[in-house]
Amino acid sequence: MDQEKRIIRIIFLTILIDMLGVGILIPIFPMLIAQTSSFRITPLSWTHQESFILLGWLLTCFPLAQFLASPILGQLSDRFGRKHILSISIAGTAISYILFAIAILSKNIPLLFFSRIVDGISGGNISVAFAVIGDVSSPKNRAKNFGLVGMAFGLGFIIGPVIGGKLSDPELVSWFNVATPFWFATILSAINVMLVIKLLPETLTTKVFSRINLTKPIHNIIKAFTYDGLKSVIPASFCFNVGFTFFTTFWGVVLSEQFNFAQGKIGSFYGYVGLMIVLAQGLVVRRISGKVDDYKVLRFSMFGAGICLFCFYMIHPSMYYLIYCIPPFLATCNSLSMSFSTALLTRVTPANIRGEIMGINSSVNALAQTIPAVLAGYIAGHHARLPILVGGMIICLGGMLFWLLFKPAQFSNQD
């Protein structure tokens, strides 16, 4: 088997298992604050707005910690190799799941926050995985390989939420409870560590022994918007991720509060969305890759994603079935935007600093996920669906920025 294909398949499995762990958590979060949920961790005296704000801050912990950790993990992977850093960070994720399960069972809110911080620090492993893909991908296959990784994300969101909804349902099995999905996620992460250690070869050919800069996250934000290879893509990508996070952080709450979805049904809905993402990555991204210029795809896919969020916002609960009509279009626009923007970044990145640049990209994405998670908690306190509208507007702003800032000529001579 070709070395590139073999490594991509290993990374595919690694990210798939990692995203299964993430997907398992999705149907649980809305239940932590739902008024009628037996899983509720907030005091009964708390108002909806207070519970939404707590959830917003809880969701913020992960991307904020990831924002601080991703560039450091990227630098460490450039120095010590991808394999070692990837395996250590996945092990940290397993520990975070154990802490989260204990926190829910004991209704220990501070421990709940701490577990999310640990998971966020470990969550920088995605930037290392992306660096591996950049190391081994030929210029022709870059977008396709990142699209294949997008399929792993999608599969994780197909299976993960469904598993999370089922494993937390005591009506299915008497000893199942809200902590069961997290024990399962711990086992998945342990398997993931073994996969990386046993099967993944080291892909970094030239190691960089520069000093590790702990203030890198702050410098990264400045560099992301000024570095020639990034400043035309990062602002648009930042807006896209901010807008999409407004949707992802509180759409589950909307399903619970306004559409009366229980955790099992929420998990099934996200599983359906994940299926659409897999189909989009497999049938659309892979067919377009190499045939249409990256920037031409991005100019339309971002606007399409924003329009999809507007459609979600307008659906009345009495016409709930319409929410199943939008995901095919949203998944296509999201898959195209994520795959082709990442491919553009790796194309202009020298191989010896690719881990650092992917760390910068992950930092910007993590910061983009931090801001809306906090704001959405306050906005949803006024109306649960308002974060969806705000998200659509910001994604469209990102599309406008890409139209204005991107100059095709600056990529014409890159590999």
Residue 369's nearest CA partner among 109, 64, 159 is: 64
**Do the beta carbons of residue 26 and residue 252 sit within 8 Å?**
yes
> Tokens for 335?
């898959």
What pLDDT score does 43 carry?
83
Residue 180 in contact with residue 188, Cβ under 8 Å?
A: no
pLDDT tens per residue across all 415 residues of the chain: 477 788 888 888 888 887 787 788 888 888 888 766 677 888 888 887 888 888 889 888 888 887 788 778 877 888 888 888 889 989 999 999 999 999 998 889 999 999 999 988 887 677 788 888 888 887 777 777 877 777 787 778 788 888 888 898 888 888 888 889 999 989 988 988 998 898 888 888 777 666 666 676 677 677 767 766 667 778 888 899 999 989 988 888 899 888 988 888 888 898 888 888 878 877 888 788 777 777 788 888 999 999 999 999 999 998 989 999 999 999 999 989 888 887 777 776 666 666 667 767 777 777 887 888 889 888 988 888 999 999 999 999 999 988 887 777 655 545 5
Closest CA to 64 of 305, 373, 358: 373
What is residue 35's predicted lDDT score, i.e. its pLDDT?
67
CATH code for 3-200+216-411? Answer: 1.20.1250.20
3-state helix, strand, coil in the chain (%, to 5): 80, 0, 20
- What is the reported pLDDT for 396? 95
CB-based burial label for 98 (10 Å; 0-12, 13-18, 19+): middle
Domain boundaries, the chain: 3-200+216-411
pLDDT at 157: 74
Residue 68 CA to residue 77 CA, distance in Å, equals: 15
d(C-alpha 11, C-alpha 369), whole Å: 24
- ∠ CA 411-413-415, nearest 5°, is 85
- pLDDT at 355 (0 to 100): 66
Identify whether the C-beta of residue 59 lies closer than 8 Å to the C-beta of residue 226: no
Confidence at residue 275, expressed as pLDDT on a 0 to 100 scale: 85
Q: Are 33 and 51 in contact (CB under 8 A)?
A: yes
Structure tokens at 384: 């649960």
Token pair 């881990």 in the structure block, residue? 355
Q: How far is CA 230 from CA 218, 238, 260, 402, in A?
A: 16, 11, 43, 12
Tell me what pLDDT residue 210 has.
Answer: 65
Separation between Cα atoms, residue 226 and residue 197, nearest integer Å = 37
pLDDT of residue 209: 65
